[in-house]
């Protein structure tokens, strides 16, 4: 069930280096900083970013991994493809910022695999309902509906957080304050958490107490 389909050339992500793309990323940096500040974790973070150099805009926590999409996979803190060369449940929290290619490449499943129980995923995707789409449609970025992402996250066992869906970024203007309903902003942020079912404790043993000297019936 593909929901965010980026043309098979990862160069489509170069749109985020244009003034229109940079304006959107500038609006997202505060949310990335807030995520880092709100969720300190003993395990490292993983940040999948659309362009190189994002760590110069927002400094990730120590021991974080920052990767960018490339033609042959990912580059940054390490060079790799899929599956990610990370152990199961080794990442405390994870940011996926506009790098998902389609629903069949296995990246979202990899995100769920490496995330620890209780870890959180922030997923940024372009908003197809925004007038801002006119600025990226010619770049080869093809975007589906947010509801499909929500279903896919739930299918993987990632449960929505209280602020599951937020809208961010400009509505149309690239500079200055953008006026208009939040639903028309350029991007959406989905926040979900990896939860595991608690073990069912054994049923308590029923004991029958008898007065001293009494024989059981």
Let me know if residue 32 belongs to a domain.
yes
Query: What is the CB-side half-sphere exposure of residue 19 using CA atoms within 13 A?
Result: 4
Domain span including residue 160: 4-194
> Is residue 72, in this structure, part of any structural domain at all?
yes
pLDDT digits (tens, 9 = 90+) for 27-61: 999 999 999 999 887 889 999 999 888 888 899 99
Domain total in the chain: 1
Q: Classify residue 210: in a domain, yes or no.
A: no
Model pLDDT, residue 54 = 86
**DSSP classification of residue 212:** T
Burial class of residue 62 in the structure, from the number of CB atoms within 10 Å of its CB (0-12 exposed, 13-18 middle, 19+ buried) = exposed
pLDDT at 74: 92
On whether the CB atoms of residues 121 and 158 are closer than 8 A, the answer is yes
Q: How far apart are CA 24 and CA 145, in angstroms?
A: 19
Let me know if residue 36 belongs to a domain: yes
For residue 51, being part of any structural domain is answered with yes
pLDDT value at position 182?
86
What is the reported pLDDT for 2? 36
The answer for residues whose C-beta is within 8 angstroms of residue 166's C-beta and 6 or more apart is 31, 188, 189, 191
Q: Is 161 among the domain residues?
A: yes
- The CATH number that applies at residue 157 is 3.40.50.150
Query: E-assigned strands of the chain?
Result: 4-6, 45-49, 65-70, 73-76, 91-97, 115-126, 141-143, 158-168, 187-194
Map tokens 């389909």 to a residue.
5
| pLDDT given for residue 87 in this prediction | 96
Q: What is the DSSP string of 154-172?
A: HHTTEEEEEEEEEEES-SS
Report the Cα 186 to chain-centroid distance in Å. Answer: 17
Partners of 192 in beta bridges: 121, 160
Asked if residue 217 belongs to a domain, the reply is no
Extract the tokens encoding 201.
Answer: 């404790």
Position 41 in a domain:
yes
Q: Give the residues of the chain that fall short of pLDDT 50.
A: 1-8, 198-199, 209, 216-217
Torsion of CA 118, 122, 128, 134, to 10 degrees: -170
């Amino acid at each position: 069930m593909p929901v965010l389909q980026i043309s098979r050339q990862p160069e489509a992500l170069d749109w985020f280096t244009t003034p229109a793309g940079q304006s959107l990323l500038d609006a997202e940096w505060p949310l990335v900083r807030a995520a880092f500040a709100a969720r300190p974790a003993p395990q490292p973070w993983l940040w999948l970013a659309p362009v190189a150099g994002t760590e110069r805009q927002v400094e990730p926590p120590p021991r974080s991994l920052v990767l960018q999409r490339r033609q042959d996979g990912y580059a940054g803190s390490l060079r790799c493809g899929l599956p990610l060369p990370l152990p199961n449940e080794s990442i405390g929290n994870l940011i996926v910022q506009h790098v998902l290619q389609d629903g069949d490449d296995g990246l979202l499943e990899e995100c769920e695999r490496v995330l620890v129980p209780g870890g959180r995923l922030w997923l940024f995707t372009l908003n197809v309902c925004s007038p801002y789409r006119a600025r990226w449609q010619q770049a080869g970025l093809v975007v589906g509906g947010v509801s499909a992402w929500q279903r896919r996250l739930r299918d993987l066992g990632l449960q929505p957080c209280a602020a599951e869906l937020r809208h961010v970024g400009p509505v149309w203007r690239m500079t200055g304050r953008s006026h208009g309903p939040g639903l028309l902003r350029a991007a959406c942020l989905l926040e979900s958490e990896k939860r595991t079912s608690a073990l069912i404790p054994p049923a308590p043993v029923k004991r029958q107490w008898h007065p001293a000297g009494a024989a059981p019936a």
